[in-house]
Amino acid sequence: MGGVLKVDFIGAGNLAYNLAPALENAGATVRNIYSRNLENSIKLVNKLYEGQVKEDLDFSESTSDIFIIAVPDDVIEDIVKELVLPENAIIAHTSGSIPLSILGYAATPNIGVIYPLQTFIKNNQVDFNTIPILIEGDNKHTTQALSALAQLLSSNVQEVSSAQRQSIHLAAVFACNFTNWMLTQSSVIMEEANLDFKLLQTLIAQTINNAFETGPENAQTGPAKRGDFEVLDTHMSMLATKPAFQELYQIISQQILDHHQNLTNE
């Protein structure tokens, strides 16, 4: 496979909305865009130079090299069963949690995964150069093609197995999704006290920096680590009218307390 890589997308959500233009800007050609939501396809095509809307899943006449499935995890299998591809096409999904084997229904032996390890929203274009892109291929040809495509975007391309990728995704849920939920609760507390959530910005940034500088366990601070029960009790009282917040506070504080007490006793 030589020359300019040609790519079609099945899906036009947050990831495709970032990935397709980035690939085009990096030198690939992005052509056909299919989405169950026609409006999403049109919006993404309008961001591309050569893109065109595809209204069905028959890609048999496409001359593209790689077909990227960027849809919610729970519809990948159904999409693959309906998808019609050119002979010997390369097809890859973009999920962190779904194994490569789900593409076994595809009418091609060239199946793989291309998973950018980042969270995406449509209105915030990201710089792919520093984003790890994790790839997996069922054969050498597929792996090499996906690696070449990923290297157009990122200086950090790694080959990982489905099991490793699932572990990474689980860790990412704790580190990203759960952390963001905690920030949401924090913003509610600040708002109810007529305070600006941005007051916490430098504190939050330093916390993340410390976790990578010294390791998250070493960077742990706060009343639970110190065993400061007076502060813990005060916080629990402040959350008395919010039982869901209170339960969350208690569970996490207890885990931190138990963990660091165990370390002290070792």
Report the distance separating Cα 16 and Cα 12, nearest Å.
5
pLDDT (tens digit per residue) in 60-118 = 999 999 999 999 999 999 999 999 999 999 999 999 999 999 999 898 999 999 999 99
What is the token pair recorded at 90? Answer: 């390369």
Output the pLDDT for position 14.
Answer: 92
Of 138, 160, 182, the one marking the end of a domain is 160
Report the distance separating Cα 160 and Cα 165, nearest Å.
6
Q: Are residues 198 and 256 in the same domain?
A: yes
Of 108, 125, 160, the one marking the end of a domain is 160
CATH code of the domain containing 47: 3.40.50.720
Strands 110-116 and 133-137: antiparallel
Q: Are residues 151 and 20 in the same domain?
A: yes
Q: Are residues 128 and 197 in the same domain?
A: no
Output the pLDDT for position 228.
Answer: 94
Q: What percent of the chain has pLDDT over 70?
A: 98
Residue in the structure block whose two tokens are 């069922």: 138
Mean pLDDT of 6-13: 96
Q: What percent of the chain has pLDDT over 90?
A: 91
CA dihedral 54, 57, 63, 68 (to 10 degrees): 90
Output the pLDDT for position 1.
Answer: 60
Q: Are residues 122 and 248 in the same domain?
A: no
Q: Are residues 141 and 198 in the same domain?
A: no
Output the pLDDT for position 173.
Answer: 94
CA dihedral 233, 238, 241, 247 (to 10 degrees): -50
Residue 1 within a domain = no
> pLDDT band at 265, cuts 50/70/90?
low
- Tally of CA atoms within 13 A in the half-sphere of 173 that contains its CB: 7
Q: How many residues does the chain have?
A: 266
Among 34-38, 117-121, 163-167, name the one with the lowest average pLDDT: 117-121
Output the pLDDT for position 6.
Answer: 96
Output the pLDDT for position 181.
Answer: 96
Domains held by the chain: number: 2
What is the token pair recorded at 70? Answer: 């960027």
Q: Are residues 73 and 99 in the same domain?
A: yes
Bridge-partner residues for 57, per DSSP? none
Q: Are residues 244 and 227 in the same domain?
A: yes
Report the distance separating Cα 38 and Cα 213, nearest Å.
45
Residue 151 within a domain = yes
CATH code of the domain containing 180: 1.10.1040.20
Q: Which range marks the domain in which residue 59 is found?
A: 6-160
